[in-house]
Amino acid sequence: MAVTDSLSRAATVLATVLLLSFGSVAASHIEDQAEQFFRSGHTNNWAVLVCTSRFWFNYRHVANTLSVYRSVKRLGIPDSHIVLMLADDMACNPRNPKPATVFSHKNMELNVYGDDVEVDYRSYEVTVENFLRVLTGRIPPSTPRSKRLLSDDRSNILIYMTGHGGNGFLKFQDSEEITNIELADAFEQMWQKRRYNELLFIIDTCQGASMYERFYSPNIMALASSQVGEDSLSHQPDPAIGVHLMDRYTFYVLEFLEEINPASQTNMNDLVCPKSLCVSTPGHRTDLFQRDPKNVLITDFFGSVRKVEITTETIKLQQDSEIMESSYKEDQMDEKLMEPLKYAEQLPVAQIIHQKPKLKDWHPPGGFILGLWALIIMVFFKTYGIKHMKFIF
Amino acid sequence: MGLLSDPVRRRALARLVLRLNAPLCVLSYVAGIAWFLALVFPPLTQRTYMSENAMGSTMVEEQFAGGDRARAFARDFAAHRKKSGALPVAWLERTMRSVGLEVYTQSFSRKLPFPDETHERYMVSGTNVYGILRAPRAASTESLVLTVPCGSDSTNSQAVGLLLALAAHFRGQIYWAKDIVFLVTEHDLLGTEAWLEAYHDVNVTGMQSSPLQGRAGAIQAAVALELSSDVVTSLDVAVEGLNGQLPNLDLLNLFQTFCQKGGLLCTLQGKLQPEDWTSLDGPLQGLQTLLLMVLRQASGRPHGSHGLFLRYRVEALTLRGINSFRQYKYDLVAVGKALEGMFRKLNHLLERLHQSFFLYLLPGLSRFVSIGLYMPAVGFLLLVLGLKALELWMQLHEAGMGLEEPGGAPGPSVPLPPSQAMGLALYVLPVLGQHVATQHFPVAEAEAVVLTLLAIYAAGLALPHNTHRPLSYRVVSTQAPDRGWMALKLVALIYLALQLGCIALTNFSLGFLLATTMVPTAALAKPHGPRTLYAALLVLTSPAATLLGSLFLWRELQEAPLSLAEGWQLFLAALAQGVLEHHTYGALLFPLLSLGLYPCWLLFWNVLFWK
C-alpha cells in the first residue's frame, strides 16, 4: 500500500511536474502567440476611398476607387467603416452602354459596381473641404453617420486617392486642388486628435510621389503609383465602352488583392508593381512607420480581421511598454527612455525624418574669415587714409 | 532727340525711304509670295493631332451592319422620288417613324432675286423632313445632326438610304447622351438654310419658313453626306464654308482617325494625301492642295450643306463619296461604320469643340498650317502699300505745301464720289434692272443680270474722261502739277490697304489672293510712264480679271483645264452664282468686290489717267 501510495504520489508529482513543464512550455508558446496577437496594435479598420475626377473620359478613376472598395469590403471592412467618395456617376452616365455597371477588366469580366455599393459622398459633394473635414472630424452636427470617419486611437485607416495630379497637388473636380502640405497638416491634426493608430496612404495619380513628400506625422506608410516627373498610365481601353477602364497601378493592386483572403499572411513587402507592368516607377515611404513593412500584414489595412484564439490556459500579459522598449532598443534610439510613451507625446520625429535642419553650435570664426576682414580693413584705411583710424580706436 | 522728332535725322530717314523705296517694295512683295509658298514645307506645316480630351485616344468598336437595308431604302426613295417628282415627304415620314424617330416636317418658300439658270427655278418652295432620336437617359440639351441635302434630281438617294439605315441602328443603342437629328432637305442648300434659320429662330436671308415643331437642343456638330452610288472608292471631305469660315480642326482630325482606322481612302480637295513630306514631291502636292483650298475659301461659297451650319458656329463637315475607276471599292457598311464611329466619339463631348484651331490652311488631310504662321504672308504684301503710301506722303511734304490752296490744283478727292457711286450702281442695278433689260433685249433674266454687271464694270473704265472734263476748264496751278494725283494715290493706297487688311483677317485666302494681284499694279500706277502698259496691267489685275484668272487656275489644279470659251462661260456662271448666293445665303464676296474693291480699283484707274 505504501509503495503504491508513494508510487502514485510520485506519479502524480511526476505528472504534475510534466504538466507544469509542458504547461509552462505551452504557456510560453501561448504567450508568444499572445504577443503576436497584439503585434499590430489596432482594433478596428477604416477606409477612406476618394475619386476626385468627373467626366466620362475619367471612367478609370471611378473604376480604380470601386475596385479598392470591392477588395476592402470583401476582406471584411463593413460599409459603416468605409467612407466612399466618388466625384461622378459613371454607372448611370447616359454614355454608359451597360447602365448600372462599372467594369475594371475589358470584355466586361469584372463589374466592380456590384449591387450593394454605398457611396457616401457623391458628385459635387466631393470637395477638398469635405475631404479634410472627414479626415479631421470637424464636421457639422447634422452630417449623417455614414459620412463620418469615426475612428479612434486604435484604428488603422486606409486612405486611397486617385484622379489627376501634378507635382505637389491633386486636382478635385476640375475646379480646385489639394496640396501635399495641406494633406500633411490634415494627417498631423488626425494624429493630435488621436484619430488613428496607423495610416496607409495610397495614391494613384501622375507624379503621385510628390503627395507624400511632406508628411511629418508618425505611423504613416505611403505608396504612390509614380515618381515626380512621371505619368501614371492607364491600362486598357474597352472598345465596346469606348474609354480606358483602369489605371495600371491599381489594376495590378487589384489583381494582387484578389488573391488575398482574410486569413492570408502576405505582408506589405509583397505589394509591389514591377516596372515592366506598371511602366511608371511606384514609390513608397516608410520612414515614419514604426514597424518593419515585412511585419505588416496586408489585412492590417485592407481587411478587418477579428483575431480570435481559443485557449484554455490563463495567460499573463506583459505590459505594452516592454514591447515598445525592445523595439526602441533595437533602433538604438534615446537610451534615456524608461517610461512608455504616452499617446499624445510626440515621437522625436525630427530625428526620424530630418526635415528641419539641425541647429549647429556656434564656433568662433575661422582663420580665413579673420584674414579676409583684416584685408578689407587694411584696404579701407589705405584708400581713405590712416586718419580715420582714430575714429575707430 | 528722338529719331522722328529730330529734323536732321528725319530728313535722313526720309531720304533713305525715298531712295530705297522701290527695292524695299519689291523685296517685301517677293517675301510675301515666298512665305506663302514655303507654307507647305515643315516646320511651317505641322501634323494634325486630336486636341479635345473628351474625344481622346480610345477607339470604339463599330457595329453597323445595315448595308442591305440602306440599299433597300435608297431604292425605295429613288423610286418614290421619280414618281412624285419632288421629295417624297409622306414616304420619308412613314419610314422614319417606322425606324423609331420623332418625325417633323417644315415647309419653306423663297422667291429668288432672278431665275437661276443652272437649276431653273425662280419661286422655290419645298419641304424638309427631319427625325429626332432622343437620348434615352439624358435631357435634350444638346444634339448632333446628320443631314442629307436632296436636290432636284435623285443623285443623293444612296445617302438617304444610308441615313435611314444608320437611324435604325442608332435607335437600338442606349449610350446616346445627345439627341441626334436626321435631316433630309429639299432644294439642297436652300432647304438647309430654311431649317437652320427656323431652328435658331432668326431671319438672315429673307426666307419664308414655317416654324419648327420639334427641337432638340443646341447643335454641337453636324455632318452632311452626299453619296451618288452605293459603292465608293474614296471619301472626299469639304471644310470650306460660307464666307470662308472653317469648322474646328478637331472635327477634321476625327474624320481622319476613322479613315485610318477603317482603312478608307480619304481625299481632301479631291487629291490623295502625299505620304512623304521630307522630299520635294510631298510638299509640291501639298502646294496644289493648299492652292485649291485657298481658291475655294476665297470664293466664299458654301461648298456643301456644312457651310451654312458654320454661320451659327456649329462645327460641320461635308463627306462626299467618289466613285472613280479604282479597283478597290468600299460599300455602304464601311461608310456607315465611319459615320457611326464619328458620332459615337462626338457623343463623348462635354463642351463645344474649342480646343483646336478655328483658322488654318490644309496642305493635306494630316497636315495643317495655323494662323500664326500664315499671316505674315499677307502682312508682307500689305507692307508694300504702306511703304508706297509713306513715300508719297514724304514726297508731298517735300513739295512743301498743304493740301488746301485757293484756286489750286484739281482736288484729289474729286474722283472719290463717282467711284463709290459706280460701285453702288454695280451692286444695286443688275438685280434691280433685270426686268427692264429683258424687256428691251432678247435675253433671259440671269443673263441680263450678268451682262448688266459686265456693262457697268466696263463703263467704270470711262470714268476718268468724265470726271476730268469739267476740271480742264479750271486754272491748273503750275507749281506742283503732280500733287493732285499723288494725293489721290495716297488716299487710294490707304483705302486699299485698309480693305485688304480687314478682309485678310476674316478670310485670309480672299485677302491674300486679292493682295497678290492688286498690290503690284496699285503701287505702280502713275500718269507718267508707259500708259498703255500700265493700263493693261491694271485691267488684268482688276477684281473681275482676278476672278477669271482664279477660275482657270482652279480648273488647272484639278487637272481639268479649260479652254477660253469654256472659261468665259464658267466666268459668267460664276458671276450669276455670286449675285444669287449673296441674296439667298448672305455671301459677302459680291458686296465686297462691288462696294469695296471695285471703287478702290477705279481710283487707281483715275490716277493712271490723270491729266
Confidence bin at B113 (pLDDT 50/70/90): confident
Count Cα neighbours of B137 within 13 Å in the Cβ-side half-sphere: 16
Chain B residue with minimal CA distance to A239? B60
Per-residue pLDDT, A337: 47
How do residues B400-448 score in pLDDT, each as one tens digit?
A: 655 444 444 456 677 788 888 889 989 998 888 888 888 888 888 888 8
Give the bridge partners for B47, in sequence order. Answer: B367
What does the block give as the cell for A278? 506598371
User: B175 and A239 in contact by Cβ < 8 A?
Assistant: no
How do residues A325-340 score in pLDDT, each as one tens digit?
A: 555 555 544 444 445 5
CB-based contact, A357 to chain B, within 8 Å: no
CB B192 within 8 A of CB B308: yes
**Distance (Å, whole) CA B10 – CA B3:** 7
User: A55 and B177 in contact by Cβ < 8 A?
Assistant: no
Which pTM was predicted? Answer: 0.83
User: B348 and A93 in contact by Cβ < 8 A?
Assistant: no
Chain B residue numbers touching A99 (CB-CB < 8 A): 137, 174
User: Among B54, B173, B347, whose Cβ lies nearest the Cβ of A55?
Assistant: B54
Task: Please state, in angstroms and as integers, the Cα–Cα distance from residue B298 to each residue in B8, B266, B581, B582, following that order.
Answer: 46, 23, 14, 14
Beta strands in chain A (DSSP E): 44-51, 82-86, 121-122, 155-162, 164-166, 169-172, 176-179, 198-204, 220-224, 237-238, 243-244, 283-285
Candidates B593, B603, B551, B549; CA nearest to B574 is: B551
Per-residue pLDDT, A293: 86
CB-based contact, B172 to chain A, within 8 Å: no
User: B138 and A92 in contact by Cβ < 8 A?
Assistant: no
DSSP B375: H
| Nearest chain A CA: its distance from B387 CA (Å) | 51
Q: What is the rounded average pLDDT for all residues in chain A? A: 83
Task: Please state, in angstroms and as integers, the Cα–Cα distance from residue A55 to each residue in A64, A65, A95, A242, B196, following that order.
Answer: 15, 15, 10, 13, 30
Confidence bin at A19 (pLDDT 50/70/90): low
Written as one string, the DSSP assignment of B72-136 is: HHHHHHHHHHHHHSS--HHHHHHHHHHHTPEEEEEEEEEEEEEEETTTTEEEEEEEEEEEEE--S
User: A99 and B174 in contact by Cβ < 8 A?
Assistant: yes
How do residues A88-123 score in pLDDT, each as one tens digit?
A: 999 999 999 999 999 988 777 888 998 889 999 999
Which of B175, B349, B350 to mutate: most A Cβ within 10 Å? Answer: B175
Per-residue pLDDT, B342: 94
Pairs across A and B, CB distance < 8 A: 47
How do residues B370-406 score in pLDDT, each as one tens digit?
A: 999 999 999 999 999 999 999 998 888 877 655 444 4
User: A239 and B60 in contact by Cβ < 8 A?
Assistant: yes
| Nearest chain B CA: its distance from A384 CA (Å) | 41
CB-based contact, A239 to chain B, within 8 Å: yes
User: Among B60, B138, B350, whose Cβ lies nearest the Cβ of A242?
Assistant: B60
Per-residue pLDDT, A270: 87
How do residues B179-228 score in pLDDT, each as one tens digit?
A: 999 999 998 899 999 999 999 999 888 888 899 999 999 999 999 999 98
Helix (H) or strand (E) holding B363: strand B360-364
Confidence bin at A22 (pLDDT 50/70/90): low
User: Among B135, B137, B344, whose Cβ lies nearest the Cβ of A242?
Assistant: B344
CB-based contact, A373 to chain B, within 8 Å: no
Average pLDDT over residues B336-351: 93
CB-based contact, A236 to chain B, within 8 Å: no
User: Among A56, A94, A243, whose Cβ lies nearest the Cβ of B176?
Assistant: A94
CB A71 within 8 A of CB A257: yes
CB-based contact, B344 to chain A, within 8 Å: yes
CB neighbour list of residue A343: distance below 8 Å, 6 or more residues apart: A153, A194
Average pLDDT over residues B443-460: 87
- Residue B118, exposed/middle/buried by CB under 10 A (0-12, 13-18, 19+)? exposed
Is the confidence at residue A42, as pLDDT, over 60? yes
Which residues 88-107 in chain A show a CB within 8 A of chain B?
Answer: 92-97, 99
Per-residue pLDDT, A332: 46
Candidates A145, A156, A122, A150; CA nearest to A135 is: A150
User: B344 and A55 in contact by Cβ < 8 A?
Assistant: no
Average pLDDT over residues A61-78: 93
User: A94 and B135 in contact by Cβ < 8 A?
Assistant: yes
Between B231 and A15, whose confidence is greater?
B231
How do residues A160-194 score in pLDDT, each as one tens digit?
A: 999 999 999 999 998 999 999 999 999 999 999 99
User: B348 and A99 in contact by Cβ < 8 A?
Assistant: no
User: B175 and A92 in contact by Cβ < 8 A?
Assistant: no
Instruction: Tell me which residues of A are annotated as active site.
Output: 164, 206
Tally Cβ neighbours within 10 Å of residue B520. Answer: 17
Helix (H) or strand (E) holding B146: strand B142-150
Written as one string, the DSSP assignment of A338-393 is: -SPPPTTSPP-HHHHH--SPPPPPP----HHHHHHHHHHHHHHHHHH-GGGHHHH-
| Nearest chain A CA: its distance from B175 CA (Å) | 4
Average pLDDT over residues B587-601: 93
Cis-peptide into B543, omega within 30 deg = no
Tally Cβ neighbours within 10 Å of residue B126. Answer: 23
Query: In the sheet where A164-166 sits, what is the strand order?
Result: A164-166, A169-172, A176-179
CB neighbour list of residue B11: distance below 8 Å, 6 or more residues apart: none
| Nearest chain B CA: its distance from A128 CA (Å) | 24
Chain B residue numbers touching A95 (CB-CB < 8 A): 175-177, 347-348
Residue with cell 452636427: A141
User: B175 and A55 in contact by Cβ < 8 A?
Assistant: no
Chain A residue numbers touching B59 (CB-CB < 8 A): 237, 239, 242
User: A242 and B173 in contact by Cβ < 8 A?
Assistant: no
Chain B residue numbers touching A92 (CB-CB < 8 A): 137
Per-residue pLDDT, B166: 96
CB-based contact, B215 to chain A, within 8 Å: no
What does the block give as the cell for A297? 500584414
Q: What percent of chain B clears pLDDT 70, i.e. is strictly above it?
A: 93
CB A104 within 8 A of CB A234: no
User: A56 and B175 in contact by Cβ < 8 A?
Assistant: no
Chain A residue with minimal CA distance to B61? A239
Per-residue pLDDT, B478: 47
CB B449 within 8 A of CB B117: no
Helix (H) or strand (E) holding A278: helix A275-278
Report the range of poorest mean pLDDT among A137-141, B53-57, B244-248. Answer: B53-57
Count Cα neighbours of B244 within 13 Å in the Cβ-side half-sphere: 23
Chain B residue numbers touching A240 (CB-CB < 8 A): 60-61
Give the bridge partners for A204, in sequence order. Answer: A162
- Residue A374, exposed/middle/buried by CB under 10 A (0-12, 13-18, 19+)? exposed
CA A137 to chain centre: 18
**Distance (Å, whole) CA B541 – CA B608:** 14
Which of A53, A55, A57 to mutate: most B Cβ within 10 Å? Answer: A57
Per-residue pLDDT, A389: 65
**Distance (Å, whole) CA B192 – CA A153:** 70
How do residues A133-167 score in pLDDT, each as one tens digit?
A: 999 999 999 999 999 999 999 999 999 999 999 99
CB B534 within 8 A of CB B521: yes
Candidates B228, B408, B381, B246; CA nearest to B319 is: B228
**Distance (Å, whole) CA B1 – CA A25:** 106
Radius of gyration of chain A (CA): 29
| Nearest chain A CA: its distance from B586 CA (Å) | 38
CB A70 within 8 A of CB A293: no
User: Among A56, A57, A97, whose Cβ lies nearest the Cβ of B174?
Assistant: A97
User: A244 and B58 in contact by Cβ < 8 A?
Assistant: yes
Q: Which amino acid is at B28?
A: S
